[in-house]
Amino acid sequence: MNASRTPSPGTTAFIGGGNMARSLIGGLVAAGTDPAAIRVAEPDATARESLSSDFGVAVFADAAAAVEGADTWFFAVKPQVMRDVCAALSAVAQAQRPVVVSIAAGITSTQLDRWLGGGLPVVRTMPNTPALLGAGVTGLFANAAVDTAGRARAEALLSAAGETVWIEDETRMDAVTAVSGSGPAYVFLLAEAMEDAAKAQGLPDDAARTLVLQTVLGAARMLVESGEAPAELRRRVTSPGGTTQAAIETFEAGGLRTLVGAAIANATRRGGELSAAND
């Protein structure tokens, strides 16, 4: 445990130091946040050691020790353990009145507030793994107890991971999770399928990998940098009667749009189930 620093206002305690917390902490420190203002509770000793040595943050095995004096509590544990983790901290939460931020899929601001004893400002957020590169996007919802300073605090924490989008209706946070939280995996799945197809067409493994990766990167950059709609960019690749048209017709005939819609609807539904199952 590294408890040598004295917490002060502006200190954030991360509860859970796993994959997402690590990405977000790395982004914050890279963006100039003083590591002394970050405290992390993480049960795994190896993960604690690497957070401490890589980023210089204070690490703790015990969440109650990590939150001491921190005015923002950032919950980055799995939805399945959130209730117990919050319950163990509720007395301190009521005494300390932190701004609560969560990245857990499905878990609602009402549940977090209830488990922490009630009456707290809670910002429910949904980042994604490109946060690791500062290229993520996060949807944020603030409950009625969050003031302007609390919103700014949450936004500052998440903006180190990339773009931020405020969502006014919390019932839409499961859709945010389904679109952008899980979304990187859909792009990775497409890349996997394209790489397999490239090899099936006789391309060597390394050529298949490079062709797919650079195609995904180039297409993503065009989407972001050109200012054009996806449909227009697609139209420009698709010569009438050409190769792209043959592929697109195959995707459409196979019901790609319906399949994507069903996948995102299922992910959205699962968010609601995570909330109910862990209440």
Ligand X SMILES: NC(=O)C1=CN([C@@H]2O[C@H](COP(=O)(O)OP(=O)(O)OC[C@H]3O[C@@H](n4cnc5c(N)ncnc54)[C@H](OP(=O)(O)O)[C@@H]3O)[C@@H](O)[C@H]2O)C=CC1
Ligand Y SMILES: O=C(O)[C@@H]1CCC=N1
Q: Which residues bind ligand Y (CB under 6 A)?
A: 105, 177, 181-182
7 is an interface residue for ligand X by CB under 6 A:
no
First to last CA, the chain: 32
Binding to ligand X in span 137-196, by CB under 6 A:
181
Q: Which is nearer to ligand Y, 12 or 138 (CB)?
A: 138
Q: Binding pattern to ligand X, positions 35-54, x when CB under 6 A?
A: ------xxxx--x-------
Residue nearest to ligand Y (CB): 181
From the list ligand X, ligand Y, none, which binds 104 (C-beta under 5 to 8 Å, kind-based)? ligand X
- Minimum distance from residue 16 beta carbon to ligand Y (Å): 13
DSSP string, 51-78: HHHHH--EEESSHHHHHTT-SEEEE-S-
Spatial distance between the Cα atoms of 85 and 93, rounded to a whole number of angstroms:
12
Q: Which is nearer to ligand X, 1 or 256 (CB)?
A: 1
13 is an interface residue for ligand X by CB under 6 A:
no
- Minimum distance from residue 143 beta carbon to ligand X (Å): 18
Residues 52, 55, 58, 63: is their CA dihedral positive or negative?
Answer: negative
Spatial distance between the Cα atoms of 69 and 78, rounded to a whole number of angstroms:
24
96 close to 124: Cβ distance less than 8 angstroms? no
Q: Which of 1, 81, 149, 213 binds ligand X (CB under 6 A)?
A: 81
Q: Which is nearer to ligand X, 55 or 198 (CB)?
A: 55
**DSSP class of 178:** I
DSSP H helical segments within the chain, as ranges?
Answer: 19-30, 45-55, 63-67, 79-96, 109-115, 148-159, 173-176, 183-200, 205-225, 230-237, 243-253, 256-277
139 marked as binding residue: no
| Contacts with ligand X, residue ranges (CB under 6 A) | 15-21, 41-44, 47, 63, 76-79, 81, 85, 103-105, 126-129, 181
Binding residue numbers:
15-20, 76-79
